[in-house]
Amino acid sequence: MYGFDAIGFDIGGQPIHLGDNVEVEFCPFPNTPRFDQADGVIIPQGIFEKFVDGTSWPASTTVEVYERQLLECDRQLVNLLRDGKWVCFLVDAITDFVPNGYGSRRCHDTDLCKRMLNRFGIGRSLIKETPSSWTKVNEFARYFRNYGVAKTAFDIRWSEYSEGRVLGEVNETTVAFELLSRLFFLPFHSMRHDKNSAKELAETVSMAIVDYRQKRLVELPPWVDDFEFGGEQKLQSELRELLDQSIRRQTELQTWKNYKAVLTTTGEILKGRVIAILAGFFGLRVDPVDESREDARILAEDGTTLVVVGVKGTNTGITKEHIYQVDGHRDRSHLPKRLAGVLIINSDTAVDGIEARLAAEVHPEQVKLARDRNVLIVRTIDLLFLMRHLDRDAARGKTLLNLLQSGGGWLKADSTGYKVITAIAGGVATNIQLP
């Protein structure tokens, strides 16, 4: 059972033994679970999203998503279902639209339960009143008696799901169902969240599903698969393509995560990540110069040096020595002072949090020195925000080069935009006008 602490349950710390070789373990949220070690998983709907109401008028609501946990759990659940195991979502009121000024904004994929319903094309709507639901399926009678208050109705095209079954209804409206005896959606409401209540819930849900599956699953011997329908071949081909696509997407996601490592690394690892960004994201030609130094160069197509690069990581702020190191790199390479230098620095590594990193700004003295020395300071937090702004810019490499060759100072970026600051006097920044 994953994430029940996120809805207020006291989940304790020890597994619950239910007999007949059934053991239930509570896994806390947002820790990344290991679903592949389980035979089944029970998850409360809504734990991956958080609704934050704005204070201005007209009202707007922001949906915050635990994206990393959502993606990882989604991947694990797909593997779990593919291996013939089961997943159960305990469903409260599913919110697919939030206020957005005078209108509304859709948020139909911000939770794992929503994504699984979307995958099967299953619609849903809120029930205005919340009556208790009922079931004709004996295995779930106890569950519905104790927890079956329905707040969400499901719209299922049953002709497409011959291997599915309605488990609960309210006034002939589906509020609980299962597909392939592997994927379960049950209405859920509880006023009690103490440790004993958590144990009772775990026992009630787990035993209902185990009993239900034992009576309905048919184990086929391996030789039966020697006979194959054409529809099976098509589905197997589609499944392979989906798995290949999933691997490609996971690889792409890992690339973005590797980029973000510039916020947490130093030394050669940081240098490698920075070069990967300059070459991979911006498409620039980069010479790492010397594997034992934190230096690099950005080159033109003919191999001439356009920008000298210094890469540094420090748990403190930016000092004049950091700027002089880039200047020294230029001198060692016998390059003119007019050639642009850039200091890409992961500064203030002792500071945790994106907003806190942004707030740890560059001192005016260092901005002035960098301008005088034709060195552009780029904190790694600035670099990531710049990447986000230029993500859809087909000429982003050229845009970055223009910034690096603008004469030095500080390239500051945040969620609102980016700019090159050339001086700070009396708390007021002087900026270069960017196109």
- Indicate whether 399 belongs to any domain: yes
Do 196 and 315 share a structural domain? no
Same domain, 186 and 295: no
* Amino acid letter for position 324: Y
Give a yes or no: residue 244 inside a domain.
no
The DSSP bridge partners found for residue 162 are: none
* pLDDT value at residue 243: 67
CA distance 210 to 217: 10
**Structural domain boundaries enclosing 21:** 4-219
Q: Are 56 and 125 in contact (CB under 8 A)?
A: no
Q: Are residues 41 and 110 in the same domain?
A: yes
Both 283 and 428 in a single domain?
Answer: yes
Work out the average pLDDT over 170-183.
Answer: 89
pLDDT at 401: 95
- The enclosing domain of 303 has a CATH number of 3.40.91
One domain for residues 207 and 282: no
240 assigned to some structural domain: no
Three-state helix/strand/coil letters over 196-256: HHHHHHHHHHHHHHHHHHHHHCCCCCHHHHHCCCHHHHHHHHHHHHHHHHHHHHHHHHHHH
Evaluate whether residue 258 is within a structural domain.
no
**Domain boundary at 157, 189, 219, which?**
219
* Shared domain check, 147 and 281: no
Residue at which a domain ends, from 219, 253, 282 = 219
Backbone angles phi, psi at 413, to 5 degrees: -140, 145
61 with 127, same domain?
Answer: yes
- pLDDT tens figures, 334-363: 899 899 999 999 999 999 999 999 999 899
Task: Indicate whether 387 belongs to any domain.
Answer: yes
Residues 311 and 210 in one domain: no
Q: Are residues 211 and 97 in the same domain?
A: yes
Question: Are both 211 and 279 inside the same structural domain?
Answer: no
- In angstroms, the CA 175 to CA 135 distance is 10
Among 61-65, 198-202, 222-226, 378-382, the minimum mean pLDDT is found in 222-226
Q: Is residue 254 part of a domain?
A: no
Structure tokens at 283: 């498409």
Q: What tens digit of pLDDT does each residue of 47-70 get? A: 999 998 887 788 889 899 998 888
Q: pLDDT per residue over 86-103, tens digit each?
A: 999 999 999 999 988 888
| Structure tokens that stand for 172 in this block | 């002939």
Which residues neighbour 36 within 8 Å (Cβ) at sequence distance 6 or greater? 76, 79, 80
Whether residue 270 sits in one domain with residue 213: no
What CATH number is attached to the domain comprising 191? 3.40.50
On whether both 18 and 131 belong to a single domain, the answer is yes
Overall number of domains in the chain: 2
**Within-domain flag for 234:** no
Answer whether residue 395 is part of any domain.
yes
pLDDT at 215 > cutoff 60: yes
